[in-house]
């Protein structure tokens, strides 16, 4: 078992001055954006900030999961460009990339320092067994791979990834985008684990699944996904059965592809993104139980 602590995407931006809406039964969201890039001020990662509270919560989760289940806990926070779009508004930032790119680059440069400070604090506090970063905008639906490299990729490669190397930690990514720049996100960054979503109806537009990703990246990166998270919301007997069926089908499909590519494992059975707020746990348990029940024997049977 492994737990990835996916959270809402407003935490880093709120510490930079963005107003946040926190509904009782929905995901917190950025609602009041900063009006001027020059007003961006990088705070210290300390008590009183939302990100520091997340670090402390992650530390508690790690301690309980390590002790109670002997399971690792992977913490999570936003990357530089995602933080900026949450802070300033995505439409504005994406437009400014075309009309005023230097201002955006200066802001990403500044926020990269903040993101690095956050990651380092996670490691210094021993608040996780691994750390997963959301680089959401690295997808061809939003921007080209060249534009992504210019506005975030080079900052991640040159400054964020080396921080993980300093602490002997694998760089991990989560992205629920539907046409990801996998070459940049995995090959250029040297990513050790990639948590991804798969959209069968968008396959013709570039959405990739295990059969595409394992042959191309399996030798360097462990892939993690791709069960539809929305299905976990149906906790009826039929819903639980659907999760069990999907999990078994994915497991039986992934193992032969691993074998064909000379791999014993290098894949994590998981939902493709976070299960929505208020989601039941019996569907989650159903998925885990299927893997535990048939996984070991199926792997022996497949691998020989």
Q: How many domains does the chain have?
A: 1
Q: How far apart are CA 100 and CA 92, in angstroms?
A: 11
Domain of residue 9 covers 3-303
- 267 forms beta bridges with 223
Burial label for 154, CB within 10 Å (0-12, 13-18, 19+), is middle
The pLDDT tens digits of the residues spanning 176-189 come to: 998 999 999 999 99
**2 pLDDT more than 90:** no
What confidence category does residue 21 fall into, taking pLDDT thresholds of 50, 70 and 90?
confident
pLDDT at 6: 78
**25 pLDDT more than 70:** no
Q: Which H/E stretch holds residue 75?
A: strand 73-78
**34 pLDDT more than 90:** no
Q: How far apart are CA 48 and CA 242, in angstroms?
A: 43
- Residue 292 CA, chain-centre distance (Å), reads 24
Q: Mean pLDDT throughout 3-21?
A: 84
For residue 210, what are the contacts with CB-CB under 8 A and spacing of at least 6?
Answer: 198, 223, 225, 226, 250, 253, 254, 257, 267
**26 pLDDT more than 70:** no
Q: Mean pLDDT throughout 86-108?
A: 95
The pLDDT tens digits of the residues spanning 221-253 come to: 999 999 899 999 999 999 999 999 999 999 999
pTM, two decimals, is 0.92
What would the DSSP string read from start to end of 145-198?
A: HHHHIIIIIHHIIIIIHHHHHHTT---EEEE--SSB-HIIIIIITT-SEEEE--
pLDDT at 10: 83
Q: How far apart are CA 107 and CA 298, in angstroms?
A: 50
Residue 127: give its domain's CATH number: 3.20.20.210
Phi/psi for 139 (5° steps) reads -155, 150
Burial label for 92, CB within 10 Å (0-12, 13-18, 19+), is middle
Residue 19, classed as helix, strand or coil, is strand
Say what percent of the chain tops pLDDT 90: 79
């Amino acid at each position: 078992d492994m737990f990835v602590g996916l959270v809402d995407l407003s935490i880093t931006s709120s510490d930079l001055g963005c107003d946040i809406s926190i509904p009782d039964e929905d995901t917190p969201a950025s609602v009041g954006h900063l009006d001027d890039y020059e007003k961006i001020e990088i705070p210290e990662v300390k008590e009183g900030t939302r990100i520091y509270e997340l670090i402390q919560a992650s530390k508690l989760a790690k301690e309980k999961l390590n002790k109670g289940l002997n399971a690792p806990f992977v913490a999570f926070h936003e990357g530089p460009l995602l933080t900026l779009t949450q802070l300033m508004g995505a439409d504005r930032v994406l437009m400014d990339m075309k009309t005023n790119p230097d201002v955006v680059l200066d802001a990403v440069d500044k926020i990269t320092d903040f993101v690095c400070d956050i990651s380092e604090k996670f490691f210094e506090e021993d608040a996780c067994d691994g750390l997963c970063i959301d680089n959401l905008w690295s997808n061809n639906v939003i921007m080209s791979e060249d534009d992504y490299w210019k506005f975030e990729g080079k900052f991640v490669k040159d400054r964020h990834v080396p921080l993980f190397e300093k602490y002997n930690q694998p760089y991990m990514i989560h992205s629920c985008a539907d046409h990801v720049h996998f070459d940049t996100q995995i090959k250029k960054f040297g990513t050790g684990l990639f948590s991804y979503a798969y959209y069968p109806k968008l396959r013709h537009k570039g959405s990739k699944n295990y059969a595409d990703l394992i042959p191309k990246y399996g030798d360097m990166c462990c892939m993690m996904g791709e069960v539809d998270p929305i299905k976990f919301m149906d906790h009826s007997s039929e819903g639980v059965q659907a999760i069990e069926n999907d999990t078994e089908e994915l497991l039986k499909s992934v193992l032969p592809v691993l074998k064909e590519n000379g791999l014993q494992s290098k894949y994590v059975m998981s939902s493709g993104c976070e299960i929505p707020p208020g989601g039941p746990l019996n569907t989650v348990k159903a998925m885990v139980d299927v893997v535990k029940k048939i996984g070991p024997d199926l792997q022996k049977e497949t691998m020989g």
